[in-house]
Amino acid sequence: MATERHDAGPERGRIRVEGYDAAATDDREFDTAWEPTLQSAEGKGRLYYAWRRFKRNRLALAGAATIGFMTLCAIFAQPIRVPEQVPVLAGQLVQPVALAPADPANQEVLLGHQPPTTEHLFDWPPSMLHLFGTDWAGRDILSRMMYGARWSLSIGFIAVVVALFIGVPLGAIAGYYGGYVDEVIMRVVDLLYAFPFIVLAIAVIAILGRGYWELVFALIVVGWLAYARILRGEILSVKENEYVTAAKALGATDRSVIVRHILPNAMAPVIVQATLSVGTVVLAAAALGFIGLGLSPASAEWGVMLRVEQDSMARGRWWAGFFPGLAIFVFVLAINLVGDGVRDAFDPQGEGGGRFR
Amino acid sequence: MSLRRYVLKRLLITIPLLLGVTLATFAMVHFIPGDPIDFITLFTELDPETKQQIRARYGLDDPIYVQYLDWLANAARGDFGTSITTRQPVTQEIAERLPFTLLMGSMAFVIAIVTAIPAGIAAAYHRNTKVDQVSRVAALLGIAIPNFWLGLILILVFASWLEVFPVLPPTGEGLLSSEMIVYTLLPALAIGTGSTALLMRLMRSSMVEELDKDYVTMARAKGLPERTVVGKHVLRNSLISVVTVAAIQVAFIISGSVVVEIVFSYPGLGRLLVNRVRNHDFPVIQALVLIIGVAVIFANLLADVLYAYLDPRIRY
C-alpha cells in the first residue's frame, strides 16, 4: 500500500517525504540487524584510547621495558625443568637457555677460578669475571640476582592477581548490594586496615610459618583490602548512572549488570592500584626476606640476599649488598613509572594525589 | 555540627573497630595449627597430668569467650602475661623498648615534615621549572627506594667509609643521651625518606591547586606582598590535606621502623616483634600487634578530627 502511494506521488494534503526509499525498508530483515555483544564497543574504545595515551608516555614505556627485561632475565637465567610432581613430563627441559654467567649456587671462587687471599677469602669485588662481584660464599652475585628475580617477580605477580580475584568480587558485591553485606565486608576491611602492611603480613607469617606459599598468602591477605575498598567506592558512584537503571529495567540479572555495565566503568582506579601494588608487594616480600621472615636463607630472593650480606656493608664490602638492593629499587621504580603511566592513560585530566597509605 | 559533636560521633564509630582489633589479635593465637601448650613448653615431652596443670594455669580449659574476656580485661589493665622466651612480664619488655621506637619514629616524622613542606612549596611556586623537575625526580626515587637498602647504604657511607657515625648503637647510654640521638639520626632518615617524598608531592599538588584560585589573584591585585599572599593565604589552605595525610604517616613509619630497626640493630619495638615471631613468643606478638593496631586507629582518628577542625565543611 505504501509503495503504491509513493509511486503515484503525493495526494493533496499529504507531505511528500524526499530521499526515502520505501522499498529498502521493506527489504530489511528486522531480527538480524543488531545483536548485543559481550564486550560493548565502548569498553573496547576505552582500553584502546588508554593504550594510545600510554604508548606516548616515554617514562612509562621505559618502566615497562625495564620490567620486561627483568622478567626475561628471570626466565632465561637458568634452564627450567618440569617439576617432579607432574606425571608424564617430569624432568623434561622446558626452557633450555642459561643466560646467567655462573651457576647461582656454585661457589666459583672456592672452586678455583681465583685463589682466595687473606683479605678476600670468598667475596671478590666486581671484576670482568664477576661483573657484580661474589658474595660471602664465593657465589656470583649477578647470577644470583637473575635467578633471584624468579622469586621476587613471581611473588609480586601471583600475590597481586590472586588478591584481585578476592578484592574485586567482594568490593563489587559490597558496592552494588549495599546494606548488610556491605557493612560486613567493609568492617572487615576497616579492621584489617588498622594494621600497617608489614605488621599484618608479619602477623600472618607468625601464624602460618615461613615459606614461599605462606609468604604469598600473607601478601594476599594484606593486598585485597585496597582493591575492595577502591572498587566499592567507585561502584557507589557508577551504579547511579542511567544506563544501570536501564539495564535493570530491561531485566538484566544482577550479575550481568555488574559484570557488563558497572565493572568496565569502575575498574580503572583498581587497575592503577593493582599495577602499583606489584611494586609494593615485591618491596614487602623483600623486606620480609630481609628481616628473616620471608623465604629461606638458601634462596636468592633479593631481600634474602641483602640479609645475608648485612655485615658486609658495614665492613665496606659494598658490592655484596648494593646490587641486590639496586635490583629491588629499580624494579619498584619501574613499576611506579608504569603505574603513573596507566593512571594518566585512564584519566588524562587528573593529577595523581596520595596513593600510599 | 559542632566540632565536639563530630569528635564524639567519630569516637563512637571507633569503639567497635577497637573491639574488632582486640578480637582479631586474640583470635590470632587460635589460628595457629597445633596445641598452644607446645609453644609454652617449647615442645618438651610431658606427661598428660603436667600438661593438664599448665592448661589450667593458662586458662586454656575455659570456654573461648571467657578466655577472650580474661585476656581483654588483663590487657586493659596493661597486663599481657609473661613472655615465653624470657619469662619476663610482656609489659615490662615493651615498656623498655617503646621510648626508643618513639624517639626514632618522631625523629623520622620531624625530618619528613621539615624537609617535605618547604620543598613542596618551592616546587609548587616554581612549577614546571628546573626546581619542580628536580623535586619530581627526587620524589620518584624517594618513594621507590627500599628503606632497608637505604639504611644499609647510609651505614656503608657514613659509618664505614666516612666513619662519622657509629656502626652499633651505644650501650648503657640513656635514651636522651647525645650518643643515642646521633645514632638515631640515620635510621630516622632511612624511615623518613618515603614519607618525605610523598608529603612533598602532596604539598606541591595541593599548593598548585590553591595558587590557581581566584582569591590569590585578588590578593595580588590588592597589592599584597608576595610573601603575604603565599605565606599567609595559600599556605594555610594548602596545608589542610597535607596535615591529614601526615597524621596517616604514622602507619607508614611503624611499618618502616619494623624493618629499619633490624638494619641498625636498634633496641626498639620493631626488632622485638621480629625476634619474637622467630621464637613463636605469642604473648609478646599479640601485645605488639594490638598496640600497633590501636596506635594506627587513633592516628586515623586524629587525622579525621584535624581535618574537620581545619576544614569545617567536612563536619556536615
- A 10 A CB-CB count for B29 gives 17
Q: Which residue is closest to B204 within chain A, CA to CA?
A: A353
CB atoms within 10 A of CB A90: 11
Tally Cβ neighbours within 10 Å of residue A107: 16
Indicate the range of A16-20, A21-25, A33-37, B57-61 predicted with least confidence. A33-37
pTM greater than 0.80 (yes/no):
yes
CB contact residues (below 8 A), chain A span 309-348, against chain B? 310, 313-316, 318, 321-322, 325-326, 328-329, 332-333, 336-337
Pick from A199, A280, A193: nearest CA to A228: A193
Q: What is the pLDDT of residue A338?
A: 94
Distance (Å) from the C-alpha of residue A252 to the closest C-alpha of chain B? Answer: 37
Give the Cα separation of B91 and B78 in Å (integer): 7
A140 backbone dihedrals φ, ψ, rounded to 5°: -70, 120
Calpha distance A243→A353 (Å, rounded): 30
Mutation target vs B (from A145, A183, A199, A229; most B CBs, 10 A cutoff) = A199
More confident position, A115 or A262: A262
At residue A354, the pLDDT reads 36
At A353 the pLDDT is 39
Q: Find out whether A305 and A135 touch, Cβ atoms under 8 Å.
A: yes
Residues 6+ apart with CB under 8 A from A162: A216, A220
Q: Please tell me what DSSP assigns to residue B160.
A: I
Question: Which of A283, A322, A356 lies at the smallest CB-CB distance from B198?
Answer: A356
**Higher local confidence (pLDDT), A131 or A187:** A187
> Of the segments A21-25, A156-160, B121-125, which one has the largest average pLDDT value?
A156-160
| pLDDT band per the 50, 70, 90 thresholds, residue A356 | very low
Rounded distance between C-alpha atoms, residue B261 and residue B169, angstroms: 11
Number of neighbours of residue B174 by Cβ within 10 angstroms: 10
Shortest CA distance from B195: residue in chain A? A356
Minimal CA–CA distance to B187: which of B164, B171, B165? Answer: B165
- pLDDT, mean of residues A166-177: 93
Among A172, A160, A356, A174, which residue's Cα sits nearest to residue A265?
A172
Distance from CA of residue B194 to its chain's centroid? 13
CA B60 – CA A28 distance, rounded (Å)? 80
| Residue ranges of chain B with per-residue pLDDT less than 50 | none
CA torsion through residues B294, B149, B96, A210, sign: positive
Task: Name the residue among A198, A321, A336 with its Cβ closest to that of B143.
Answer: A336
* A window 182-221, beta carbon within 8 A of B: 187, 190-192, 194-199, 202-203, 205-207
Nearest C-alpha neighbor of B306 from the set B224, B248, B220: B248
Question: What is the sign of the dihedral through the CA atoms of B145, B148, B150 and B153?
Answer: negative
Mean pLDDT of chain A: 80
Among B1, B251, B215, which residue's Cα sits nearest to residue B108? Answer: B251
User: What pLDDT is stored for residue B203 in this prediction?
Assistant: 92
Q: What pLDDT, on the 0 to 100 scale, is given for residue A154? A: 92
pLDDT of residue B31: 77
Structural contact between residues A182 and A171, judged by C-beta atoms closer than 8 angstroms: no
Highest mean pLDDT pick, A78-82, A134-138, A304-308: A304-308
Residue B187 CA to residue B105 CA, distance in Å, equals 9
Kindly indicate the confidence band of residue A3, based on its pLDDT and cuts at 50, 70 and 90: very low
All residues of chain A having their beta carbon less than 8 Å from the beta carbon of residue B278 are 292-293
C-alpha cell at B126: 616554581
**Which is higher by pLDDT, A307 or A347?**
A307
Choose among A190, A196, A292: nearest Cβ to B17: A190
Whose cell is 627441559? That residue is A93
* CATH superfamily of domain region A46-346: MetI-like (1.10.3720.10)
Residues of B in contact with A316 (CB under 8 A): 156, 160-161
**Short-list B111, B114, B112, B117, CA closest to B235:** B117
> Grid coordinates representing B226?
608576595
Please report residues of A whose CB lies closer than 8 A to that of B292.
195-196, 199
Beta carbons within 10 angstroms of residue A311's beta carbon: 12
H/E element, B238: helix B235-263
pLDDT of residue A222: 92
Contact residues, chain A, for B154 at CB < 8 Å: none
Q: Which residues sit opposite A134 in a β-bridge?
A: A140
- Asked whether the predicted pLDDT for residue A352 surpasses 60, the reply is no
Per-residue confidence at A132, pLDDT binned at 50, 70, 90?
confident
Q: How far is B228 from chain A (nearest CA, A)?
A: 26
Domain boundaries, chain A: 46-346
CA A50 – CA A28 distance, rounded (Å): 37
How far B150 CA lies from chain A's nearest CA (Å)? 9
* pLDDT greater than 80 at residue A38: no
CB B123 within 8 A of CB B205: no
Cα A287 from Cα B148, distance rounded (Å): 7
Q: Are A198 and B255 within 8 A, CB to CB?
A: yes
Q: What pLDDT sits at residue A201?
A: 93
Is residue A308 within 8 A of residue A121, CB to CB? The reply is: no
Predicted confidence at residue B139, as pLDDT, reads: 92
Percent of chain A with pLDDT over 70: 73
- Cell numbers placing A265: 566503568
B219 Cα to chain A: minimum distance (Å) = 26
The cell for A291 is: 628481616
Question: What is the predicted pLDDT for the residue at A34?
Answer: 55
Tell me the C-alpha distance between A227 and A11, whole Å.
67
Dihedral over alpha carbons B172, B176, B180, B183 (to 10 degrees): 170
- Which residue in the block uniquely carries the three cell numbers 606427661? B47
**Interface with chain B: mutation pick from A67, A145, A191, highest number of B CBs within 10 Å:** A191
Q: How far is A224 from chain B (nearest CA, A)?
A: 18
In tens, the pLDDT along A283-314 reads 999 999 999 888 887 788 888 888 887 777 77
- The count of residues in chain B is 316
Are residues A321 and B156, on separate chains, in Cβ contact within 8 Å? yes
- The answer to whether the beta carbons of residues A100 and A150 sit under 8 Å apart is no
pLDDT value, residue A28: 58
pLDDT, tens only, A181-224: 999 999 999 899 889 889 999 999 988 888 899 999 999 999 99
The mean per-residue pLDDT over the stretch A149-155 comes to: 90
Nearest by Cα to A128 from A142, A117, A144: A142
B258: nearest CB among A198, A315, A318: A198
**What average pLDDT does this structure show over A308-329?**
82
Confidence of residue A41 (pLDDT cuts 50, 70, 90): low
- In Å, how far are A8, B93, B103, B268, B283 from B97, measured between CA atoms? 102, 7, 10, 5, 16
The partner residue sitting opposite B254, judged by closest CB among A199, A315, A329, is A199
What's the mean pLDDT in A160-186? Answer: 93
Looking at residue A51, its pLDDT comes to: 84
CB burial readout A54-87, b (16+ within 10 A) else e:
beebeebeebbebbeebbebbbbbbeeeeeeeee
Please tell me whether residue B85 adopts helix, strand or coil conformation: coil
Count CB-CB contacts under 10 A for residue A255.
Answer: 10
Rounded Cα gap, residues B236 and B224, in angstroms = 16
pLDDT in tens, A219-253: 999 999 999 999 999 999 888 888 888 998 998 88
Output the CA–CA distances (angstroms, integers) from residue A179 to A176, A186, A242, B270, in the order listed.
Answer: 9, 11, 21, 39
